[in-house]
Amino acid sequence: MSDFLPDRVWLKIEYCCSKIEQGKLLSDHYFLSLRTHKKILMEQSVMQLSIEDLLSFNMNFKSYQDKLIIVELEGRNHRNPGFKDGVSIRLDAFSIFLVRQGKVEITIDDYTYYLSDNLLLDIMDMHSVKDIRISPDFKGYHLIIDRNVFAEIMLNSRRMPAAYIASLHSRPIQHLNEDDAILLENCLHRIVRNIDRTDHAWQRDIILNELRGFLLEMNNIVYQANRHKVTPNPPAKDVLLFLFIQLLNKHCRMEHTVSFYAGELCITPEYLSRIMKNFSGKTVNQWISEALMREAEILLRNPDLSIQQVADLLNFSDQSSFGKFFKKHRGISPTIFKQQYQ
C-alpha cells in the first residue's frame, strides 16, 4: 500500500483527477447569471469557471471542440468580460498566459504583480486571479486546456517533475528572453493554423502534437531557468507529489487531515508524510496549514463575509477554533486582519 507501481501511475492520475472534479465548489456560475445564483455567489469570494463559461463572452479566440482555446489579447481591443472587481477567479482548466509586449497588472493569490514584455504566467488551476488590467499596447495570448486533453497529452510525454510544478505554486511567473518568447508564440500560431484546417483527416492528431510541442518547449524553458533551485525526484514519487498538490488545492477548505489525502492517494499517512518531508522539508500538516491560511486570507478580505461565515466555509468546528488557528499562523486575530482591508 505504500508504493505506486510505475506502469500504473498514469491510470492513477486519471482516477484521482475524476475524484478531484467531484470536489469543486462552483463549476457553472458566473456573474452574468448573478440574479439566479445570488445567494451562492454571496458566499463565495473565489469563483470557479468552466471553459463553457468563458466561451459565452465575446472574445477573440480560436477553439477546438471547446477543449482547447487560444485567446489573442490586444490592449486596444480588450473588453472587460463582466467580472466584478475584487472577486478572484479560478478557471476549471489548465491556463497559461504568454505576454509578448505591453504592461499588465494582475493579482494572483491576492498578491499584485506589475509586469511587462516577455513573460509566461503558468497559472494552471491552483491559483486564484483577479483584477487583470492591461495597457493599450498590450499583446499576448491566453491558452486554455481541458483537463482530459491535458492528461491525454501527458500520458505520452515525459512530464515536468512535480518538484518544479510545486515551485510554480509560489513562482507562477517566468521571465522569457526574446528567442524563447518567439519560439512559444510560433508554437501557438501553428496550433491556430491547424484549428482552421477542419478538412484535414488527422486534424485532432496534428493539433494535439502541436500542443504537446508547446508544452514541452514551455517546460524546458521553466526547467532550465529553475533546475538549480529544485531537486528532482524518482518518477513514482513525482506522481504522488503532483497528485497531492492537486488534491490539496481542491479540498483544503474542507479537508484538514493527513489521513484524507493519503486515503485519496491510496497510501499510508506515514508514507505521504515521509515523501513530502524529504521533498520540501515541510510536513504534510504544514502544507495543509499554508493552503488553509491562503484560503482564509482570501475569504477574510471579502467584506460580505463575517468571521463566523469564514470559519464555516473552511470547515472549522466554531469561530473560536478558527481564530486560534489563524492567530497561530498569522500572528494576529482574524478580526484585526479583516479590519486592515475594510
72 forms beta bridges with 141
**Between residues 259 and 174, the one the model is more confident about:** 259
Range ranked top by mean pLDDT from 11-20, 103-112, 153-162, 306-315? 306-315
Region 271-277: mean pLDDT is 88
Strand order in the sheet with 173-175: 61-64, 68-74, 139-145, 94-101, 119-122, 173-175
pLDDT grade, residue 311 (50/70/90)?
very high
Region 321-325: mean pLDDT is 96
Q: Pick the closest to residue 269 from 278, 259, 279, 277 (CA basis).
A: 259
pLDDT grade, residue 157 (50/70/90)?
low
- pLDDT tens-place string over residues 259-270: 999 999 889 999
pLDDT surpasses 80 at 164: no
Region 84-90: mean pLDDT is 69
Region 202-225: mean pLDDT is 90
State what percent of residues in the chain have pLDDT above 90.
35
Residues 208, 146: Cα–Cα separation, whole Å:
12
Region 195-200: mean pLDDT is 94
Region 205-217: mean pLDDT is 93
Residue 41: the pLDDT is 37
pLDDT grade, residue 307 (50/70/90)?
very high
CA distances from 45 to 21, 41, 148, 213, 325 (A): 20, 8, 27, 36, 20
pLDDT surpasses 70 at 230: no
Q: Pick the closest to residue 294 from 264, 337, 335 (CA basis).
A: 337
**Between residues 338 and 24, the one the model is more confident about:** 338
Residues 261, 271: Cα–Cα separation, whole Å:
11
Lowest mean pLDDT among 138-152, 178-192, 307-321, 324-338: 138-152
**Between residues 21 and 204, the one the model is more confident about:** 204
pLDDT surpasses 50 at 217: yes
pLDDT surpasses 60 at 281: yes
Residue 79: the pLDDT is 62
Residues 83, 39: Cα–Cα separation, whole Å:
17
Q: Pick the closest to residue 78 from 14, 171, 142, 21 (CA basis).
A: 142
Residue 70: the pLDDT is 93
Region 47-74: mean pLDDT is 81
174-180 — which CB contacts under 8 Å span 24+ positions? 174/119, 174/120, 174/122, 174/221, 174/222, 174/225, 175/118, 175/119, 175/120, 175/225, 176/118, 176/119, 176/120, 176/221, 177/118, 178/118, 180/118, 180/221
Residue 288: the pLDDT is 94
Residue 78: the pLDDT is 63
173 forms beta bridges with 121
Residue 280: the pLDDT is 73
State what percent of residues in the chain have pLDDT above 70.
71
Residue 233: the pLDDT is 53
What are 264's three cell numbers? 485519496
